[in-house]
Structure 1
Amino acid sequence: MATTIDFDAADANPYIEDGFSIADARIVNGNCPISGPCLALNNNEASVLTRVDGGLFDLDSMSFRLLGNGVGNTLFVGETGAAPENIVSFSVPAFAKNTTHFYDFGAVFEAVSSITFYTTNGGNARIDGVNLTAVQTASPIPLPAAAWMLLAGLGGIAALSRRKAA
């Protein structure tokens, strides 16, 4: 199930919207990439995104702005505890400051349990329009039920073969 976190729910910490939770969230109304409130991160701040039910999800895309005059201003997005190759970074000058950017992550963050957003090097960022897809997992068939279904199926086959023989 796809959803977009647009930070329009009541401000709380953790921030909860559409079955997702963001710990250490600071919601503001200024300099947001999309109209309305957004997630704000100042230098060396971090927020962690998870599903409320603890399930897996895909981080599909998001909009963001890098604010301020710092040349090293950097926003990192990565799977919590991930190796460096599973972290995406956005920094000035590659991404112009005070400008709204949209980024599609493609298959970078599929079936993850948590994502960390954090800033360094004088970073000041605003994040909004976070598009996510909850990963649906198949419910396992309990073993006792599977055994009864197998026995019933075998019994049905045996009954059909007896009818054909008669």
Structure 2
Amino acid sequence: MSKGLRSKTLRRYRTAKRQVVEGVNYYPSVVESYKKIRLVQQGKYVQPVRKPNKFLYPEDENAVFPQSIPKMPLDLRSENVPLAGLAGPRGRRKFEPGEFEESGMGLKMDKKTMLASGPLMDLDNQNLDIQSTAREGHFKSGKAKKYASNKLNSINKLKKSKKS
């Protein structure tokens, strides 16, 4: 049977895809507008001057031929959407942004669409250190159980060595 529009899992898949689209299209424009606002506040912003079109003004020395750069289409297949693996029928519904950073699940894009690292907006250059008990890189690769068993074995070996 097919799944309807109100299907729980398909809604979660759509949410995962929406986060990819926002990360590639919306986030860079917000960062750029924030930088412009900061420059205006500091009194340094200068309106950029567009160069004239070479077809309309052929005698102008500064004129350039207009170029159109083709944009690569977003790949929204489930293997390229990092959160699609969490959108199954028995998965958690909501996640915090910090959980994705710790798990290593991020947008896997080429260098042209790669998002800038760091916070979106600086709050007077305050450094906030957030520590977590989670181990990096073990969520997605399934190494958490193996890591725990190795840790337990090493603790047991230390106890045995102290007794003898």
Structure with the higher helix share, 1 or 2 = 2
Q: Same fold (TM over 0.5)?
A: no
Structure with the higher strand share, 1 or 2 = 1
* TM-score category of the 2 structures, normalised to the smaller one: under 0.3
Report the TM-score when normalising by structure 1. 0.23
Report the TM-score when normalising by structure 2. 0.24
Larger radius of gyration: 2
More relative contact order, 1 or 2 (CA 8 Å, 6+ apart): 1
